[in-house]
Amino acid sequence: MLSSKVINESHGQDSSYFLGWQEYEKNPFHETLNPSGIVQMGLAENQLSFDLIESWLDDHPEVLGLKKNEESVFKHLALFQDYHGLPAFKDAMAKFMEKIRGSKVKFNTNKMVLTAGSTSANETLMFCLANPGDAFLIPAPYYPGFDRDLKWRTGVEIVPINCVSSNGYKITKEALEDAYERAHKLNLNVKGVLITNPSNPLGTSTTRGELDLLLTFTSAKKIHMVSDEIYSGTVFDSPEFTSVLEVAKDKNMDLDEKIHVVYSLSKDLGLPGFRVGLIYSNNEKVVSAATKMSSFGLISSQTQHLLANLLSDERFTTKYLEVNRKRLRERRDRLVSGLKKAGIGCLKSNGGLFCWVDLRHLLKSNTFEAEHSLWTKIVCEVGLNISPGSSCHSDEPGWFRVCFANMSDQTLEVAMDRVHGFVEAMVMNTNHGKQKRTMWDSRRRSLINKWVSKLSSVQCESER
């Protein structure tokens, strides 16, 4: 016999968000080895500024060599470290987070709990703030992984705050009250609101007005406010990023024990493999309990040592944030421009690693069944793994999350060529059946041949 956690379906792995990944893994795109494979556009990963970090590492070999002032620190790092973390690393993280927020917010390292990524941080907060069967309200559309991260092991329920495209998915008082009432009709005890700022999947930062509304709402209801600010350093366009802690300070709520922040280096520095996250809270009981729980998912000492040195380099962090934001903005613009040429629009975004793309005009009907059919065709026939809005709990079919920072410029060009060919085939061919399929297959082969020819030309040129 196995536990109920193992045998039930509550992990959420059957979501189209994860199923798209599975299809990609069966047939991953490679510029030369598999040019007809699936391009991964469902992964919110930042690969645009690796060169800056690699350059810093080349200039500081002693850090990778586990040395400090030419003396080895290997033994110190290899021996047992308690779960509070290295003081130098926590200090460096606090300063980096303050820099991202324009020094408008200060962080006390005694209120900081280190975790193995934001996934661990969010789940730990759920364990601390709610009992099985309690609920958190989350603005929808929301990150599909929350159905796993927040619910699977904790037993906490999620009630969507339904935001709509007609007002740019802004959080409203009416939507908050509606979600709260729906939760109570389901006999769920609401313990708090959780947001991602900037939003995943929308790529938009939460406005000061929305944050003020959220804090007023949670304070009146005497519930918790959790702000996942994992994308805070990716805001590349106006309006600038505003932390919930900044608004709380303006409202004289900066010491409120029901306000909590989650952060990670996975997106801003593009280091998801390093598993670096944290919880920040004014609540001493939460900090104490979360610190104890962190023993189940610690950040390795050598990782803390490396990043303490990197993040303490003020000149590097200033340059990195500036250059990375510029590259993200340019990449966003390339995606939006490429989609526009194919007659496809996007929600105006100012942060994150993705765009919320409007494909409603390509649906056969205004239903989620039609959205699923379109998504299947895009993944399996067009060869692009994107995430359908239904996986993000959107209540309006036809929207898709498309990631743009996890690939090279050349791969993005391939993706845009495929989109253009697909839309062109749909528009030009009004017939159905074999003729339509043959036309798209022919168009796709043409695009692949074009790409292989282009690669061969570039390779020949480089050999001369």
Confidence band, pLDDT 50/70/90 cuts, at residue 391 = very high
State how beta strands 67-68 and 259-264 pair: unpaired
Residue 113 confidence (pLDDT) above 90: yes
Which residue among the candidates 24, 143, 169, 180 is catalytic per the annotation? Answer: 143
> 250 catalytic, yes or no?
no
Q: Would you tell me how many other CB atoms lie within 10 Å of the CB of residue 76?
A: 14
| Predicted local distance difference test score (pLDDT) of residue 453 | 52
> 222 catalytic, yes or no?
no
Residue 302 confidence (pLDDT) above 50: yes
Residue 462 confidence (pLDDT) above 50: no
Tokens of 461: 């040129």
| Predicted local distance difference test score (pLDDT) of residue 89 | 94
Residue 301 confidence (pLDDT) above 80: yes
d(CA 307, CA 292): 23
Mean pLDDT of the 325-340 span? 98
| Predicted local distance difference test score (pLDDT) of residue 17 | 85
Confidence band, pLDDT 50/70/90 cuts, at residue 125 = very high
Instruction: State CA 198 to chain mean position distance.
Output: 9
Q: Model confidence over 177-215: pLDDT tens digits?
A: 999 999 999 999 999 999 999 999 999 999 999 999 999
| Predicted local distance difference test score (pLDDT) of residue 456 | 42
Residue 404 confidence (pLDDT) above 80: yes
Mean pLDDT of the 292-308 span? 90
> 417 catalytic, yes or no?
no
Mean pLDDT of the 414-421 span? 96
Which residue among the candidates 90, 151, 191, 267 is catalytic per the annotation? Answer: 267
Mean pLDDT of the 129-139 span? 97
Tokens of 32: 């030369």
| Predicted local distance difference test score (pLDDT) of residue 10 | 76
If phi > 0 it is left, if psi is from -120 to 50 it is alpha, else beta; for residue 445 that is alpha
Residue 317 confidence (pLDDT) above 60: yes
Per-chain mean pLDDT for the chain: 90
For the stretch 153-156, contacts whose Cβ atoms lie closer than 8 Å and that sit 24 or more positions apart, written own/partner, are 153/5, 153/123, 154/123, 154/126, 154/127, 154/130, 155/131, 156/126, 156/130, 156/132, 156/191
Which residue among the candidates 149, 228, 256, 358 is catalytic per the annotation? Answer: 228
| Predicted local distance difference test score (pLDDT) of residue 90 | 96
* Contacts with 121 (C-beta within 8 Å, 6 or more apart), sequence order: 113, 115, 262, 263, 264, 277, 278, 279
Residue 114 confidence (pLDDT) above 50: yes
Are 317 and 311 contacting, i.e. CB atoms less than 8 angstroms apart?
yes
Confidence band, pLDDT 50/70/90 cuts, at residue 18 = confident
* Contacts with 132 (C-beta within 8 Å, 6 or more apart), sequence order: 154, 155, 156
Show the 3-state SS of the chain: CCCHHHHCCCCCCCCHHHHHHHHHHHCECECCCECCCEEECCCCCCCCCHHHHHHHHHHCHHHHCCEECCEECHHHHHCCCCCCCCHHHHHHHHHHHHHHCCCCCCCCHHHEEEECHHHHHHHHHHHHHCCCCCEEEEEECCCCCHHHHCCCCCCCEEEEEECCHHHCCCCCHHHHHHHHHHHHHCCCCEEEEEEECCCCCCCCCCCHHHHHHHHHHHHHHCCEEEEECCCHHHCCCCCCCCCHHHHHHHCCCCCCCCEEEEEECCCCCCCHHHCCEEEEECCHHHHHHHHHHHHHCCCCHHHHHHHHHHHCCHHHHHHHHHHHHHHHHHHHHHHHHHHHHCCCEECCCCCCCEEEEECHHHCCCCCHHHHHHHHHHHHHHHCEECEEHHHHCCCCCCEEEEECCCCCHHHHHHHHHHHHHHHHHHHHCCCCCHHHHHHHHHHHHHHHHHHHHHHHHHHHHHHC
Mean pLDDT of the 88-111 span? 96
Residue 68 confidence (pLDDT) above 50: yes
Confidence band, pLDDT 50/70/90 cuts, at residue 67 = confident
Q: Model confidence over 213-249: pLDDT tens digits?
A: 999 999 999 999 999 999 999 999 999 999 999 999 9
Instruction: State the amino acid at position 204 in one-letter form.
Output: T
CA-based max dimension of the chain: 73
| Predicted local distance difference test score (pLDDT) of residue 236 | 97
| Predicted local distance difference test score (pLDDT) of residue 12 | 75
Peptide bond into 132 cis (omega under 30): no
Which residue among the candidates 171, 195, 223, 230 is catalytic per the annotation? Answer: 230
> 267 catalytic, yes or no?
yes
**Is the pTM above the cut of 0.85?**
yes
Mean pLDDT of the 327-340 span? 98
Domains in the chain with CATH codes: 4-49+325-422 (3.90.1150.10), 51-317 (3.40.640.10)
| Predicted local distance difference test score (pLDDT) of residue 75 | 75
Confidence band, pLDDT 50/70/90 cuts, at residue 440 = low
Give the residue, 432 or 358, on which the prediction is more confident: 358
